[in-house]
Amino acid sequence: MIRLAANLGLLFPELPFLDRFEAARNAGFQGVEIPFPYDHPAPEILSRLDRTGLPLVAMNAPPPNYTGGARGFAAVPGAEERFRHDFRRAARYAATFGSPHLHIMAGLAQGPAARETFLRNLTWAAAAAPTLSLTIEPMSPSDMPGYFLADFDTALAVIESVGAPNLGLQFDSHHAAAIAGDVLAAWDAVAPHVRHVQVAGHPGRREPDPAALGTLLARMAAAGYAGWVGAEYHPAGPRTADGLGWLAAVSRPS
C-alpha cells in the first residue's frame, strides 16, 4: 500500500520546524521526510516523532550547510574524505531516527573523474551502511545546473555498476517531468529500481495536480510499488493546509 509523507523541509514553512510534525499528522500525512535534520538536536526530533506517531521515512546525506553550500560531495574528485566523514554522520542520524532511506547527493561535478569518484564513494557507502537503503536521484539541469546526476540513464548505469543490493533510485516526479517530459514513461523505464518516490507539480514545484498524481499512483501500484511517496513542493499560498486538496483527493477510496 502506497503511503504519503510530508517533506518538512518545504511544507508548513509558516510554522517553526518542530511544530510541523503535528501539522503534518493533522493534515492526514502518514509519515515525514526531513531532508536535512542536522541543525536540530536529535532528541527533539525523536520527541516529535514519538508524540505524533509519524515515522521518518527519508533524509538526505550531508552536507548540513546545504543552504548556500555544496549540493553534496559524492561525485566531487578530491572530496572523498569529506564525503566519508559526512556520510558517517548521516548514517548515525538515520539509524537514530529509524529512517529507512538515505539519499546521497552527488554534487556539482562533470566528466569521467566525477563518475569514477561517484562509483567509488557509493561502493564504499553501501558497504559501510549495509542496513540502510541508499538512494540516488537524477536532478534536472534547469533546477540544479552542473549537478552530476542529471538523467535516468546515468543513474541506472551507476546503480548497475555499483551492484550493491542496498543502492537504488529515488524517483522525483518534478525532475522526471523536466528531464524526460513524460512522467509515466519515465516511471515505466525505471520502476524496478525505485526505492523511494517524491512528487510535486510541474513546472514550479507547487502542489501536485490531483488527476495527474492519481494516475501516477495507480501506475506505481500496478508496478508493485508499495513504498512511501513524499510530498516535496513549495506551497503556493501562505498556509500549507489551504493547498492540500490534492491530498484529500488521492486519499479517497476509489
17 to 37, 40, 183, 233: CA distances (angstroms): 10, 9, 31, 16
- Is residue 232 annotated as part of the catalytic site, yes or no? yes
- Is residue 80 annotated as part of the catalytic site, yes or no? no
Half-sphere exposure (CA, 13 Å, Cβ side) for 76?
20
The pLDDT value given to residue 71: 80
> Which pTM does this prediction carry?
0.96
- pLDDT tens, 43-67? 999 999 999 999 999 999 976 555 5
Catalytic pick among 33, 44, 80, 137: 137
Q: Which three cell numbers stand for residue 123?
A: 561502493
User: What CATH number is given to the structural domain containing 168?
Assistant: 3.20.20.150
What's the CA gap between 156 and 137, in Å, rounded?
10
The answer to whether 138 and 118 are in contact (CB under 8 A) is no
Side chain identity, residue 161 = S
The answer to whether 100 and 132 are in contact (CB under 8 A) is yes
190: buried, middle or exposed (CB in 10 Å: 19+, 13-18, 0-12)? buried
The pLDDT value given to residue 64: 56
Confidence band, pLDDT 50/70/90 cuts, at residue 230: very high
Number of domains in the chain: 1
Specify the length of the chain in residues: 254
Dihedral sign (CA 214, 218, 223, 226): positive
What's the CA gap between 16 and 13, in Å, rounded?
7
Asked if pLDDT for residue 198 goes beyond 70, the answer is yes
Host domain of residue 60: 3-251
* CA-closest candidate to residue 207, choices 250, 171, 176, 170: 250
